[in-house]
Amino acid sequence: MRTLVFIPAWNEAASVAAVIAGVRERLPEADVLVVDDGSTDATAARAREAGATVASLPFNQGLGAALQTGYLYALRERYDFCAHLDADGQHPPGDVAGLLEEVYADRADLVIGSRYRDRGAAESDDYRPTLSRRIGTSVFRFFLTLATRQRFTDTTSGMRAANRRVMALFSQHYSPDFAEIESLQLAVRQGLRVEEVPVRMLERTGGASFLTPLRSAFFIFKGMIVLLVGQFRPRRREPVEPVPLGKARAGQ
């Protein structure tokens, strides 16, 4: 059984090496891939030094395309399971193991690390989201729950674990600029089992968040349109068949 942990990174030279080291320490059996999304700093070099395989996109394509690259690599290189986390150091690498446990045990196809679920249990007091982020979170939470009829607390989480069904789906259909929400909606509509697991969230170790109030508002507006359009995509009633390991290469 092989596991890939991939880390989408865009100009995260300051923090990427520490994240890789954390993953390698906590998940020694997993391979680590950094998807360098057209970074203009030394992200790719730092990642290679830290012992990760690096897939460098020739130009910045957005988080969705970077994540899709990771899923595509996992599918093509015939990994059984994959997980991803952010490169900014906000996700404790040890929490990825908890997410992977769920897909290993086949309790879910896709597992989301939630910053907001069971706060007490996860002891996430060290993470305080900004106001605009809190508004965005509740709006998305409401509409995604409405759209999927399943309760989600953390719709924009960048920490996930998945099996091959999810790899097959996400490597084909993944919105380049609205990755997190649309992919959750898509997975649920395709009959995949999606589950949330509480994770902690740390303060950023490097770089700055891209969210300003105006951007947040636009982000929310765009997200709602994406969700609305997503409701009109064809829904699959029966669950997706498990994807055999040998099929991926031949199909491409």
The binding site for other proteins (CB under 8 A) comprises 31, 33, 35-36, 48, 53-59, 61, 65, 68-69, 72-73, 76-77, 176
Contact 198, 152 (CB under 8 A): no
Contact 159, 100 (CB under 8 A): no
**Which of residues 58 and 234 has its CB atom nearest to other proteins in the complex?**
58
Quote the least distance from Cβ 214 to other proteins, whole Å.
24
Quote the least distance from Cβ 39 to other proteins, whole Å.
12
Q: In sequence order, which residues have a C-beta less than 8 Å from that of residue 11 and are 6 or more positions away?
A: 39, 40, 41, 43, 207
Quote the least distance from Cβ 11 to other proteins, whole Å.
16
**Which of residues 202 and 245 has its CB atom nearest to other proteins in the complex?**
245
Quote the least distance from Cβ 141 to other proteins, whole Å.
29
Report how far residue 165's alpha carbon sits from residue 173's, in angstroms, rounded to the nearest whole number.
12
Report how far residue 65's alpha carbon sits from residue 37's, in angstroms, rounded to the nearest whole number.
8
Count of H helices and E strands in the chain? 10, 7
Output the six-digit token pair for 210. 């891209």
CA dihedral sign, ordered 121, 210, 35, 195: positive
Output the six-digit token pair for 129. 């989201």
Which residues partner with 194 through β-bridges? 110
**Which of residues 111 and 169 has its CB atom nearest to other proteins in the complex?**
169
Quote the least distance from Cβ 184 to other proteins, whole Å.
21
**Which of residues 62 and 136 has its CB atom nearest to other proteins in the complex?**
62
**Which of residues 45 and 139 has its CB atom nearest to other proteins in the complex?**
45
